[in-house]
Amino acid sequence: MNGTNEVNQISHVIQLSVAPVFLLTGVGAMLSVLSNRLGRAVDRARHFESRYVAAHVTEQQTLRFELDLQARRARLIYAAMALCVVCALLICSVIVALFASAFVATNSLGLAIASLFVAAMLAFITALLLFLREVYLATSNLRIGPP
């Protein structure tokens, strides 16, 4: 393979890698959103925990409900974050496989690349569904206005 052809092939692989890189940016933004939501849930749980000890028994029941809700939210957010990280790792693997395919004279990497991409999308879809469930939990008991 001559130098010009090799450079052309590498530049083509770089062009193919641009879309997954943009997808990585979106996954990173999603991780940022999830991280902020997790911080809010933890802060709310700490607030309820600090009030729990000094609260009357009837208020403790309400606080226990709120603490359980924050714990469920935190678990959902953590699972969504883990899936986003898996998605990002799979996307990075797609990019590596794209570059490897430029140097390996076999067509067997096509199936691997497609499989990695599909797995990444399934992980991201599941993360989005968990995020939607967490938002539902956060807003299901929303009380606006005076008690």
- Going by the DSSP 8-state scheme, the letter that residue 54 receives in this structure is T
Q: Which residues of the chain have pLDDT under 70?
A: 1-3, 106, 147
C-alpha–C-alpha distance, residues 101 and 95, integer Å: 10
Q: Name the residue among 19, 126, 18 with its Cα closest to residue 81.
A: 126
Task: Report pTM.
Answer: 0.84
Tokens of 133: 């469930």
Confidence at residue 2, expressed as pLDDT on a 0 to 100 scale: 62
